[in-house]
Amino acid sequence: MIIITGGAGFIGSCLIKALNNYGEENIILVDDLGNDEKWKNCRKLKFRKIIRIKEFEELIKNNPLREKIQAIFHLGANSSTTEKDADSLIKNNTEFTKKLILFSINNNIRLIYASSASVYGNGSLSYDDSDEITPKLIPLNMYGFSKKLVDEWAIKNKLVNKIVGLRFFNVYGPNEYHKGEQQSIAKKGFDQINSQGKISLFKSYNSNYRDGEFKRDFIYVKDAVDVMLFFWKNQKVNGLFNVGTGKARSWNDLAKAIFTAIGIKPKIIYKEMPEAIRKHYQYFTEAKIDKLRKVGYKKEFTSLEDGIKDYVRNYLLKEDQYF
């Protein structure tokens, strides 16, 4: 049996779909479906049942399922980078993940959990996923701090070599539609272009970058899922790893890729960046993926142009947009 927290969410639902393709259907999907349209992500999936987060908390206390849990993918979290309730983030993102790590180790269960590239803050200490750098990192938001606390705790308590933590960079792709303001710029940009024929990007407030030329490591969700499957299959490989392409691309590159995929001439305008985020805005992120390559992950990552083309033409422009 495989348990996936956040299984109805963006990455989680895509992971379940990929596991189904391997013939895995004995899956417990852990999530609160709420009032949004996250439930639509589940319609094509094959799993045993859905349980709410509170039920799962009880499960890890006494394992009432009475059968062997082979693996837990812990993807559930409050992922809002603008969340101000620090206590809630610590409780849900930090302390619960710690409990799950200990539960998994004590019961000899494979655990793969989602960390985040937001732990790197402004990137001044590089985007190196080595254990030595982690304690020195200074995240820019509370979400990143809640994730960094878990990574640091796992290293300090010598647990990091018994589990897998994955620092996802800018993931985009199908099944992110319920995320509202947390949707990728790929989805938001498509919506703008599709409705207005143009896209708005932030102006630069950093003299080292022209408007639209600040860069991110954009990774297609299918690649992110493939990395998770690699660690699922290779259960002797543990540690903290970046999940990005290792190649930063600009917002302008992303916008042009969307226009090309739709088949219209690019029209990009630049708008003022809100003052609230100017001071802490990240102008560059790029995953260092040497560690991932060293443990045996050899596949090439989808280029930004090919990923956007697949996302736009095979999902966003279709009546059925779901993976």
Q: Which residues are catalytic?
A: 143, 179
Rg of the chain taking only CA atoms, in angstroms: 19
* Contacts (Cβ under 8 Å, ≥6 apart) of 188: none
Cα gap 8→40, rounded to integer Å: 8
Nearest CA among 87, 10, 85, 9 for reference residue 50: 9
Please tell me what DSSP assigns to residue 277: H
Q: Could you tell me if 155 and 98 are in contact, meaning their C-beta atoms sit under 8 angstroms apart?
A: no
Output the 3-class SS for 70-115.
CEEEECCCCCCCCCCCHHHHHHHHHHHHHHHHHHHHHCCCEEEEEE
